[in-house]
Structure 1
C-alpha cells in the first residue's frame, strides 16, 4: 500500500467531501501564501507543465485507489473497492510511479516559482520512496490488529466517515464496494498463503489480537452486523419501496456472502495462519528484515538517519525527561522516589474520572480554554471546528488512547477528536492538556484542516501526508503549550512530560524491537520502568509498534527537527523573528518531508533578513 494511503488508514486523517479548488474558501492571507502565477512566460510554461503533470498523477492515483479517492472527497469510484492485492494492481502501481518520475525529471525545476519548486521536491521525493517501498513484500501481510481493512470498512459504512449515504445511488455504491471487500477477503488469504511459504508472516501475538476482532463480526443475523449500519440510517426522503428494496439487498448480501466470508477469514487466521505465525516480535525476524526496517525508518521519519542514531537519540531523550519528571516530583513535595510517584499518579482515584462521559465533558471544557490562547500565536487558523467523541465500542479494546479525524472541507462534518474511554485508568486527568494540544488544536486539527483549505497548490499536496511532519507538528504543539501558560499546574506539566516520554521511548523501543532483537516483553518492561503509563496502554503501544514498524519514530524526530528550525531562525533573525510568521511558514504549504521543510525555512530566513 502507498505510504500516503496507509497514513490515511492509520490516522483517519483525510475524510473529505468532494469539491474543487474554486469551492474552497482560502483561509490563508495573501502575504502568507504564494500563488502559481509567474512573472515570465517561460516560468509560466514550466509551471503549467508541472501543474498538468501533478493533476494528472493525482487523477490516475485516485482511479487506482478508489477508497483513497472517497477519503479525499472524489466520489467517482464509491462503488469500487480496488485491486489492492492483485498482481495487476501491483504492476499498475509500479508503472504509475515510474512513469511520473520520468515525466517529472523532464521539467526544469529552476524555472518554477518558489511554491511549485517546493511541490516539485515533494513529488520527486514521493515517487522515489514509493518505488523503494516496492522492494519489500508488504502485501504478504495485508492486515494486522492496528490497521485492519475490516475495521476501515466498518468505519466507512457507519455513515459518519467519508462514504456518503444520502441517495439511493449512494446505497447502491456501498453494496458494490462491499462486494469488492468480500472478494478482498479471499485475495488476502491467498497472499497470506504466499507469506507463509516465504516466511513473511505476522508475529503470533498480533494474530491472536486479530481473531477476536473478527469474532465480533460473526453475528447470528444481518441486522446485528455493524455492516448493517446504513440500513439503520435510511434517509427519511426515501420512499417505502426504496427502503424495502435496499434493506432486502443489504440483508441478503450480508447473510449470504459477507458473514460467510468473514467467518472463513476468521477460521483462516485461527486454523491456518496462527500455526505459522512467527515467534520473533520484530522485523529482524523477517527475510532481509533489518534492511527493510531501515527503509521503513527512513520513509516514516523522512530522513536518512540510521536506526542506531535514532536509538541513541531516544536513550538521551528518555534520560533528560526523567530528570525533569523528578523535578516535578520534588515541586509537588511527593515523599518517595520517581517510581513511587509514577505508581501514585497511575493509581490514586483522584487522578481519574469515574464516568466515561465525565472524561468527554472534561475535554470539551479544555477546548474552550485552549481556544482563548490560540490567536496570540497564530495568524492562520482553520475555519473548521472539531468535536470530541468516544472511540466506537467495537474497536475500543485495541484502539489507541486518542486519535484525530479531519473535517469535511464543505463543512458537512467537523473534525473529530476521538478519546478511548474503554479504560478510564489509562486516561488520567493530568494528561488531558497535552493530549488535547496534540490531537486537536493547535496540533493535528490545525495542521491537517489548514492543509485541506489551501489553494494554489496541486491536489496531491493537499491530501497527502508525512507522519514525521504531522506528528512532529503535533508534538511541537504540546511544547507550545508551555509558552501559552497551559502548564502552570505542575501535574499538567507532568502530563506533558509523560506524553513526551512516550515519544522518546518509542525511539528506543521501536528500534529495539525491529533492529536489536528485543522481545515484546522486554519492550513492555522498558516502558513500565520509564513512565507512569497504564499497563494496558503500554501493551497496546508495543503491539502497535510490532504491527507498523518505523511509524512511531516519526513523532520525536519530527518535533526535534521543527524545534531546531525554530531555534536556528530565532538565532539568525534576532528581533526580526516573528513566531506567528514561523508558524505560518510551517502550516501553509501542507505536509512536507523534513529536508524540504528545512529548505523552505532557510529561504524564509533569508527573505526576512533582507527586509
Structure 2
C-alpha cells in the first residue's frame, strides 16, 4: 500500500546492481553518478543524514516543506531528467537499463507532484502528515540519537506551521481532499495533546539504553518533558484548531479529481504515478466492469458450494450478520491470522526457490489510527491486523488478508528484497511502486487457493470478496474521479458486490475519493502477473516452475509494471530458468 505506511518496504539495501551484459562503461558510470547524487540529495532534503557505517539516520530537523523548498526540488528534478536524457539507454548494461527506467519513473512522478503542488494537501482520509512522527518500541541506541529526537520535537511547531501554510494555499485555490472524507480525522490528534509522560512522544524515553549513566538519563527525560509540553502539545493544539476552525469547514464539497485545478490532467498523472502505466480512465473502468462480472460468477459457484439456498445478496447479508464469523476478542483475530501464516509457512518452499532468513511478527493496528485504517498492512518487520470494531473484521476475510500482508505477500516480499542475491542501488531499495508491490500481494491471495489455505467455502468467498473489492476499485475510482459518481453511488456499488462490512465499505470508499488513483494499482498489477503466468505455463509447458517465476518477479525488487512485463517476457523466452543460477550473489 502507500509509501509512508508500507512499514518496511523502505529498505536499506545498498550497492550497485550486478552487471549482466557489457554496456558502455562511461554511460554506466554517468548513470550511477546521477542516481547516487540525486538520492543522497533527496535524503538530505527529507531530513536524513549519512552515518559512518554508510546507512542513513534521521537528523535533528523535519524537512523544509515551504513553497521555496518545493520550487528548489522541482528545479533539481527537472535538471536530473534532462541529464538522464543525455545518457544513451542502449549503451547501458542490462541492469543499468533497468535502473535508468526505474529512476526516470521515480523522478518523473516527483516532478509531476511538484508541478501540481500536491504538497498543498498533505493528508487524505487514511494518511496524515502529523501521524507516525514518533518511533514506537524501545527507543534509540545512543545519546546522540536521543539528542536529535529532542531537537525534532522542538522543531515540530516550525514544521507544522509550514504544512498549515501550504494547506491554506490549497484551500485558496480549491485544492483539498473532499470534506466528507475527512470527517472525524482530527480525532487522531487528540492523544498528542496530553502533557508529559502521557503523550505518545514520551514512549522512546521509557526505553533508554542501560549504558547511559544516571545523570544523562535524567537530563534526557527532563528535556523531553519540556519539549513535549512547550513544543509538541502547542504544535498539535494549533493544528487541531486550524483543522476544526478553518480547514475542515473550508474543504471542497465536490468529490472528483477532475474538479480540482487542472483536474483531468492531474487525475491522469496520478494514474501514471500509482500504476506506472499510461492508461485511459475509460479503459480502466471497462476492465473493472469485466472483472466484476467474472468474479461474480465465481462467487455464485462458491455460494452453491456452501449449500446456501438464497441469492447472492442474501448470502452476503448472512456473512455480514451471522455471529459465527465474528472474533470474540482481538486476540482471537490475531490468532487466526497467525495460524494462517504458519500454515502457509509449510508451503513456501513450493512457492519460492529463494527463501529469506528474516521473520515478521503480527501486531494490532495502533488504537489512535485504527478507526480510520484499513483491515491490515504488512512490511519488513510486522503485519498489522486491525482489531478495532471486531464485527467489521469477519474471520472469513483473515486468510486472504494474511497472505497479502504477511506471506507470501508484503512481509516476505520485503525480506527477499533485503536478502536476495544481487543488490540494487539505494534509490531503488528505498522506493515502492504500488502496481508492483500490491499486484504481488493480490496475486498471493489467489495463490493461496492452490495450497488449501481456504478451508471452507466461507473463507474462499472471503478471498473472492477481497478480489472483487480490488476489481470494484477500478470501477469506483474512475467512476468518482472521471465519470462524476456521487459518494452514495460508490458506497452502494462496493456494498452490493462484496462481503465487506459497512464500516470497511465506508472507510475504503472515502480512501478512493480522497486519494485519486492510488487504489487502481492493485488489480492492474495482479492482472499483469496472472497474465504472464498463464503465458509462461502455455509456452513452457512441463518446464514451467512457479518457484522460478516468482523468484524472477521478486528478485527485481520494486519496479514499474512495464519493466516487470519486459523482464517476464525475457524470462519466458529464455526457457523459464532459475534466475539465481548464474548470479554470484555479490
Which category describes the TM-score, using the shorter chain as reference length?
A: over 0.9
Q: Distance in 1 between matches of 2:363 and 2:272?
A: 34
Secondary structure of 1:216 counterpart? helix
Output aligned runs, 1:546-557, within 5 Å: 546-557=513-524
Alignment correspondent of 2:164 = 189
Alignment correspondent of 2:555 = 588
Output aligned runs, 1:27-42, within 5 Å: 35-36=18-19
Alignment correspondent of 1:25 = none
1:146-172 per-position Cα deviation (integer Å, ceiling 9, x unaligned): 111221213xx3236xxx611111111
State whether structure 2 residue 79 is matched by structure 1 residue 99: yes
State whether structure 2 residue 467 is matched by structure 1 residue 487: no
Secondary structure of 2:439 counterpart? helix
Secondary structure of 2:540 counterpart? helix
Q: Distance in 1 between matches of 2:231 and 2:502?
A: 39
| Structure 1 stretch displaced more, 573-582 or 394-403 | 573-582
Among 104, 107, 121, the alignment partner of 1:124 is: 104
| Structure 1 stretch displaced more, 345-354 or 445-454 | 445-454
Alignment correspondent of 1:528 = 495
Q: Distance in 1 between matches of 2:60 and 2:441?
A: 35
Do 1:431 and 1:496's aligned partners in 2 also have CA atoms closer than 8 Å?
A: yes
Among 145, 169, 175, the alignment partner of 2:150 is: 175
Long gaps (5+) in structure 1: 1-5, 23-33, 407-414
Do 1:36 and 1:456's aligned partners in 2 also have CA atoms closer than 8 Å?
A: no
1:195-227 per-position Cα deviation (integer Å, ceiling 9, x unaligned): 2221112322233322212233222x2211111
Q: Quickly say closer, same or farther: Cα 1:137–1:443, change in 2 above 3 A.
A: same
1:54-75 per-position Cα deviation (integer Å, ceiling 9, x unaligned): 22222112111126989x9943
The normalised TM-score by structure 2 is 0.93
Alignment correspondent of 1:30 = none
Alignment correspondent of 2:584 = none
Alignment correspondent of 1:409 = none
Alignment correspondent of 1:448 = 414
Q: Distance in 2 between matches of 1:447 and 1:390?
A: 20
1:481-523 per-position Cα deviation (integer Å, ceiling 9, x unaligned): 1222323532221111011011011111111121122222221
1:507-543 per-position Cα deviation (integer Å, ceiling 9, x unaligned): 1111112112222222112111111111111111111
Among 346, 361, 372, the alignment partner of 2:320 is: 346
Q: Quickly say closer, same or farther: Cα 1:167–1:491, change in 2 above 3 A.
A: same
Do 1:116 and 1:457's aligned partners in 2 also have CA atoms closer than 8 Å?
A: no
Alignment correspondent of 1:50 = 31
Secondary structure of 2:3 counterpart? helix
Output aligned runs, 1:182-221, within 5 Å: 182-219=157-194, 221=195
Alignment correspondent of 2:61 = 80
Secondary structure of 1:150 counterpart? coil
Do 1:301 and 1:557's aligned partners in 2 also have CA atoms closer than 8 Å?
A: yes
Secondary structure of 2:321 counterpart? coil
Alignment correspondent of 1:110 = 90
Do 2:48 and 2:56's aligned partners in 1 also have CA atoms closer than 8 Å?
A: no
Alignment correspondent of 1:28 = none
Among 518, 530, 538, the alignment partner of 1:571 is: 538
In the alignment of these two chains, the number of paired residues is 576
Q: Distance in 2 between matches of 1:488 and 1:350?
A: 15
Do 2:49 and 2:58's aligned partners in 1 also have CA atoms closer than 8 Å?
A: no
Q: Distance in 2 between matches of 1:305 and 1:144?
A: 24
The normalised TM-score by structure 1 is 0.89
Alignment correspondent of 1:597 = 564
Secondary structure of 2:378 counterpart? strand
1:244-282 per-position Cα deviation (integer Å, ceiling 9, x unaligned): 111111111111122112111111111112221111123
Among 1, 5, 9, the alignment partner of 1:10 is: 5
Q: Distance in 1 between matches of 2:532 and 2:137?
A: 41
Q: Distance in 2 between matches of 1:464 and 1:558?
A: 17
